[in-house]
Homo-oligomer: A and B are copies of this chain.
Amino acid sequence: MERSLESLARDVGGRVSGDGSVLISGLAGIEVANKGDITFVRNEKYTPLLKKTKASAAIVAEEIPDTEIPLLIASNPLLAMAKILAFFTQGSSVRGGSSDQAWISPSAKVSKDAAISPFVSIGDEAQIGSRVTIYSGSSIGPQAVIGDDTVIYPNVTIYRRCVLGRRVIVHAGAVIGADGFGFVKDGETNVRIPQVGIVEIEDDVEIGANCCIDRATFGKTLIKKGVKIDNLVQVAHNVQVGEHSIIVAQVGISGSTTVGKNVTLAGQVGLVDHIQIGDNVMVGAQSGITKDVPANQIVLGSPHLPHRQFLRVASVWSKLPELKKELDFLLKRVEALEKGSQKK
């Protein structure tokens, strides 16, 4: 596949400085790029390398004088890079059609142009959309629905009746729709509360490897469109995650908690159950969130504090032994003053 620099610039909303007719066939880092590649300059530190690169063109944020190769100038070079890289790497490596080493229930509806790999199991009355790819070893439960153009990597498990939208990506080993963790004590014994709800994943969601998203007790656990979830994340029953939120690896979200739109939860964060996280909230890594967080806040710590307060607290915290010494010394000085004052 080859594209002119001019046409790539048009697609990513950028402009060309220099010869727009140069043909581009790939994208590579500035030090390893060759003829035919476009490269990118993520920040100014790397600008001097432009003089040495063998690339045929470069993506930059603004005009750079004295550059020999043509430039693609984009307001967000990283975004332009992502789009161009996607163009050159697109295309499924899996052939369409169903392997005769898959098991597909006679009552399942599988689109003819879906690619079903060996050792995939598709349950009764499941529905698999157009151009879906399901890799080897994945299990799709009865009555589950998989939307068009969704990709399911190997060894994924989708439990019965769960619903995935279009263009969803589920990485290997993820488990969607296992029973929520609900028990009630009967004397010493834990009696399980049957989990009769489902999980619904909206369009354009990406779910990391070995994630767990539990089915609802009643109703549904809901991941709204455009949400991106990293690996090993736990989403409990009846949780709701708002549009375009980002959830980093090893986060745990407890039952019935609602996360707003465009929220970022950094790595290893834990959220207790039945709380509300407002839109655009950012939660720092390893934080423990124990109550509602209003919209547009940045919070950090376990228990969490507003970001700046946490930094001030942590700064004093790391010097607690010195503070204790100051206090002890002050105590002695006050005692001395008291003795002096009694003598009079």
Contact = CB atoms under 8 A, between A and B. Distances in A.
Query: How many identical chains are in the complex?
Result: 3
Interface string A203-227: 0101011101010001100000010
A231 B235 CA distance: 9
A43 interface: no
Contacts of A76: 184, 186
B190 A172 contact: no
A153 B157 contact: yes
Contacts of A243: 188
A99 interface: yes
Interface residues of A, number: 113
A49 interface: no
Nearest to A89: B194
B175 A171 contact: yes
B189 A244 contact: yes
A157 B330 CA distance: 63
Given A157-B173, A317-B317, A191 B83 contact: yes
Interface of A: 28-29, 32, 76, 78-79, 81-83, 85-86, 89, 93, 99, 101, 103, 117-119, 121, 124, 135-139, 142, 153-155, 157, 159-160, 169, 171-173, 175, 178-179, 181, 183-186, 188-194, 196, 204, 206, 208-210, 212, 214, 218-219, 226, 228, 230-232, 234, 236, 243-244, 246, 248-250, 252, 254, 261-262, 267-268, 270, 272, 285-286, 288, 290, 302-303, 305, 309, 312-321, 323-324, 326-327, 330-331, 333-334, 337-338, 340-341
Given A78-B184, A172-B175, A181-B230, 15 more contacts: A81-B193, A85-B194, A118-B121, A119-B119, A153-B157, A157-B172, A171-B178, A190-B228, A190-B244, A234-B250, A234-B267, A303-B318, A326-B331, A330-B330, A341-B341
